[in-house]
Amino acid sequence: MTTTAAAAARKPATMAQALTRALHDAMAEDPSVHLMGEDVGTLGGVFRVTDGLAKEFGEDRCSDTPLAEAGILGTAVGMAMYGLRPVVEMQFDAFAYPAFEQLISHVSRMRNRTRGALAMPLTIRIPYGGGIGGVEHHSDSSEAYYLATPGLQIVTPATVADAYGLLRAAIASDDPVVFLEPKRLYWSKDDWSPDAPAQVAPIGRAEIRRRGTTATLITYGPSLPVCLEAAEAARAEGWDLEVLDLRSLMPFDDETVCASVRRTGRAVVVHESAGFGGPGGEIAARITERCFHHLEAPVLRVAGFDIPYPPPMLERHHLPGVDRILDTVARLQWESDWTEGRGE
Amino acid sequence: MTVLEQPGSSRHTSALPGPPPDWRPRVDPAPLLPDAEPYRLLGTDAARGLDAGLLKRLYAELVRGRRYNTQATALTRQGRLAVYPSSTGQEACQVAAALALEDRDWLFPSYRDTLAAVARGLDPVQALTLLRGDWHTGYDPHEHRIAPLCTPLATQLPHAVGLAHAARLKGDDVVALALVGDGGTSEGDFHEALNFAAVWQAPVVFLVQNNGFAISVPLAKQTAAPSLAHKAVGYGMPGRLVDGNDTPALHEVLTEAVRRARRGGGPTLIEAVTYRIEAHTNADDATRYRTDAEVETWRAHDPIALMERELTARGLLTDEFAAATRDGAERLAADLRERMNQDPVLDPMDLFTHVYAQKTSQLRDQAAQLRAELDAEQLPAQEARP
Ligand SMILES: Cc1ncc(C[n+]2csc(CCOP(=O)(O)OP(=O)(O)O)c2C)c(N)n1
């Protein structure tokens, strides 16, 4: 057994280890899978997600590139054209921006512009979000930018099992995937073990993480543990909250979301990225369009403030926490106020 | 005099320890530098030794290319093309680029390079799909190994590097040739592509068609580099300056660069000095930024005229060959005219077909909506298909 696998086999595994394992398994199964990015080789990535892979599979398959995000993604496009399955790492959320041109002008639309003749089976791994005390440009939640681009799939795991399963699915997908890794959960553990049979998690399906009846918290990625904690705390108020993990922002699972909201009649969308222009607005609109007659209250949002990501010593005031979620849930209860226009 | 004004002051010897030898410049830049004068063959003694068959082939392609350009320009006036960026005057670059490649190699063209694609064997109508507006790419890139015509400047260059790199990883001796304009060399993607190519020693050839202008902006406002070919030295690859209207010279330099890349010698940057005779596109007014006198100077250096002189001098431009060449070009134009004058058959439902490998539920809903709208218009898309 390799060092990587041996490390991963320790129980329970972290999300970072599950990701390493997913990359490892994908590379072992399919010789066309190639990893590339800044520091992914010898160092194993700044978060060590590619740890040991260059050693095991060689530097041609896990390669350190020059420091150039457009170059990384742009050359990956050419590699995909020649039949490889590149998996590129963008070192941090805010450093993926130089690659936007390639992402939007080529990666997202190559299948479309060539009528299906050229697929882009590539995965763009991006550590994202705050909560790790990072300095400026190390904590952005950039999902809304990707979400505004047809042709991309946008996937973000919130559990260790999903980190493995969704990354395997992303690499296997014949369409490009922006794979957002909630960096604050890299070191989180749950009962996933690398010894268990490898489960690929289908892209495009949301998962109910906690059943409830009072309202649905709709969330993804780094905010899932916060929502679960809020749901536990809400029991003291007599509220039984359902928690729904989207897992994939595109494709969007309208079916699971609407079924849940129709059951509970109330919904709160929770995410770290700014509320204005953020995914929550889109999700609230979809729910309103589809579930209006089932709603007992407007769909509310708990989001990061509409500010550039704050300095680390202030980030806890910015990130949606349990209290802010519970305060928002409390606002859902005053049904009559909404109808009388005193809701805000 | 400061140290900046006086390179060579490093010849002083110092008794103190310096940086380790490994950290000093690794390559002598001199062999990477282009010559001051563009490389030329036509009109030189060396031209006498050129293969007659090759000369005739290049000439025939140039004439076809010119006819293709004038026909496509005419089609814009008839409203058959939304836009056409003509390569009139630049046919030598287009033809030489296409003919320097083997079948298994890949060409990465920009919007101006439809002729290069046609010279490589692509159906002229398929090459014009983007510019007619019926779809973005009118051909299967794998069929002739031609990447989609690329509109955002220089973004095709990293693709070429990635493809060439992938081919080498797979053990295939495939070369990628990427075309870019002088304006495109200012883009970040130009820099990143050249840097990746040199670091990876990828089998890529970059051909800059320096036609003097990026829409209206002249080269002097684009770059302060001595020449665009000089940029190569900063990446550690050879840069070569060629007369872009001298078809055999370009063909020779490109062929040699392709051969070198195929043998594992790494990338080359070639600057072809040429001129765009027509405006940027049919929508542009070139009189705002250049004089008729300048255009006339370049007409005297026309790639076809230069070749005709050479062929005549060698007795190769017989009446028979000239007529056959003209006929071939006219056939191409007539075919293009006829087929472009037919309305393309479009299926609106195609809008949803190739967004993802499988339609999302949202796209299925939207497809159903459009279907209903079409039915209501009593224009069933299915029946529009022949
Ligand atoms: C990224 C980008 N910016 C701007 C444009 C608009 N544009 C189209 S052609 C052009 C000039 C390009 O000049 P050059 O690279 O010299 O190529 P040429 O058209 O002369 O062949 C510009 C600015 C573009 N296509 N892409």
CA–chain centroid gap for A283, Å, is: 15
Tens digit of pLDDT for each residue in B97-154? 999 999 999 999 999 999 999 999 999 999 999 999 999 999 999 999 999 999 999 9
pLDDT tens figures, A10-29: 478 999 999 999 999 999 99
We report the CATH number of the domain holding residue A126 as: 3.40.50.970
User: Comparing B209 with A191, which gets the higher pLDDT?
Assistant: B209
Quick check: is A138 catalytic? yes
CA distance A151 to chain B (A): 5
- For chain B positions 135-164, those within 8 Å of chain A (CB to CB) are 135-137, 139-142, 147-148, 152, 155, 157-164
What percent of chain A shows pLDDT beyond 70?
94
The set of residues, in sequence order, having a beta carbon less than 8 Å from that of B353 and lying 6+ positions away, is A115, A116
Nearest ligand 1 atom to alpha carbon B180: 15
For residues A246 and A185, state if they share a domain. no
Same domain, B68 and B161: yes
What average pLDDT does the structure give for chain B? 95
Q: Is B216 on the interface with A (CB under 8 A)?
A: no
Is residue A279, in this structure, part of any structural domain at all? yes
Inter-chain CB proximity A251 and B360 less than 8 Å: yes
Closest CA to B237 of B198, B295, B283, B293: B198
Smallest Cβ–Cβ distance between B161 and the set A78, A109, A111 belongs to A78
Gap from CA of B141 to ligand 1 centroid (Å): 22
pLDDT-derived band at A338 (thresholds 50, 70, 90) equals very low
- CA–centroid distance, residue B286 to ligand 1 (Å): 15
CB distance A240 to A212 below 8 Å: yes
Ligand 1 mean position, distance from CA B209 (Å)? 12
The total of structural domains in chain B comes to 2
Same domain for A35 and A131, yes or no, is yes
Best CA proximity match to B198, nearest among A65, A202, A189, A131 = A65
Q: Which of A162, A192, A222 is the last residue of a domain?
A: A192
Q: Among A158, A192, A226, which residue terminates a domain?
A: A192
> Which single residue is written with the structure tokens 């704050």?
A310
In ligand 1, the atom with minimum distance to the C-alpha of B214 is 13
User: A79, A97, A124, A289: which to substitute to probe chain B, counting the most B Cβ within 10 Å?
Assistant: A79
pLDDT at residue A267, as a whole number: 98
| pLDDT for the residue numbered A339 | 44
Q: Which residue of B has its CA nearest to A103?
A: B155
* 3-class secondary-structure state, position B82: coil
Q: How confident is the model at residue B381 (pLDDT cuts 50, 70, 90)?
A: low
Q: Do B166 and A83 touch (CB under 8 A)?
A: yes
Cβ–Cβ below 8 Å for B137 and A251:
no
The reply to whether B172 and B293 lie within a common domain is yes
- Indicate whether B269 and B158 sit together in one domain: yes
Listed residue (A294, A292, A300) closest to A326, CA to CA: A300
Residues A51 and A99 placed together within one structural domain of the fold: yes
Ligand 1 mean position, distance from CA B212 (Å): 12
Please spell the DSSP secondary structure of A52-98, one letter per residue.
THHHHH-TTTEEE--S-HHHHHHHHHHHHHTT-EEEEE-SSGGGSGG
> A116 and B353 in contact by Cβ < 8 A?
yes
Mapped onto helix, strand or coil, the DSSP state of residue B250 is helix
The chain-wide mean pLDDT, for chain A, equals: 93
For residues A238 and A4, which has the higher predicted lDDT (pLDDT)? A238
Best probe residue, ligand 1, of B215, B231, B281 (max atoms within 8 Å of C-beta): B215
Rounded CA-CA distance A329/A320 in Å is: 13
Cis peptide before B152 (omega within 30 of 0): no
Contact A70 B356 (CB under 8 A): no
* Residues A127, A243 within the same domain: no
CB contact under 8 A, B140 and A117: yes
Is B137 contained in some domain? yes
Ligand 1 contact, B281 CB (< 6 A): no
Q: Is B214 in the pocket of ligand 1 (CB under 6 A)?
A: yes
Q: What pLDDT is attached to residue B382? A: 55
Q: Out of A165, A192, A219, pick the residue that ends a domain.
A: A192
What angle do helix axes B247-262 and B91-99 make, rounded to 10 degrees? 30
Q: Does a structural domain hold residue B23? A: no
Using 50, 70 and 90 to split pLDDT, how confident is the model at A2? very low
Distance CA B208, CA B269 (A): 8
Within a domain: B11 = no
Q: Both B297 and B172 in a single domain?
A: yes
Q: How far is the CA of B96 from the centre of ligand 1 (A)?
A: 22
Residues A145 and A224 in one domain: no
Q: How far is the CA of B154 from the centre of ligand 1 (A)?
A: 9
Q: Are residues B56 and B154 in the same domain?
A: yes
Going by CA atoms, what residue is nearest to atom 18 of ligand 1?
B181
Domain range for residue B355?
348-384
CA distance A212 to A264: 8
Say how far apart CA A15 and CA A23 lie, in whole Å. Answer: 12
Q: In this complex, is the C-beta atom of A70 within 8 Å of any C-beta atom belonging to chain B?
A: yes
pLDDT in tens, B283-319: 999 999 999 999 999 999 999 999 999 999 999 999 9
**Residue A136 clears pLDDT 90, i.e. is over it:** yes
Q: What percent of chain B has pLDDT over 90?
A: 90
Q: What is the DSSP letter of A139?
A: S
pLDDT the model gives residue B384: 54
Taken in order B39, B44, B49, B55, the sign of the CA dihedral is positive
Closest chain A residue to B146, measured at CA: A81
Are B317 and B359 in the same domain?
A: no
CA angle B307, B260, B169 (to 5 degrees): 130
Q: Cα distance from B188 to chain A (closest Cα, Å)?
A: 8
Nearest Cα residue to A217 out of A339, A80, A322: A322
Amino acid at B23: W
Task: Tell me if B158 and A153 make a contact (CB, 8 A cut-off).
Answer: no
For ligand 1, is residue B215 a contact (CB within 6 Å)?
yes
Indicate if A142 and A270 belong to the same structural domain: no
Residues of B with catalytic function: 276, 280, 289
**CB distance from A111 to chain B under 8 Å?**
yes
Provide the pLDDT for residue A5.
53
A118 and A169, same domain (yes or no):
yes
Residue from the list A70, A84, A117 with its beta carbon closest to the beta carbon of B189: A70
Residue B36 has pLDDT above 90, yes or no: yes
For residue A294, the domain's CATH number is 3.40.50.920
- The interface residues of chain B toward chain A in range 187-206, judged by CB-CB distance below 8 A, are 188-189, 191-193, 195-196, 199
**A130: domain range?**
13-192
Residue A300 pairs with which residues in a beta bridge?
A: A268
For residue B269, the domain's CATH number is: 3.40.50.970
Number of independent structural domains in chain A: 2
- Residue of A24, A34, A106, A138 marked catalytic: A138
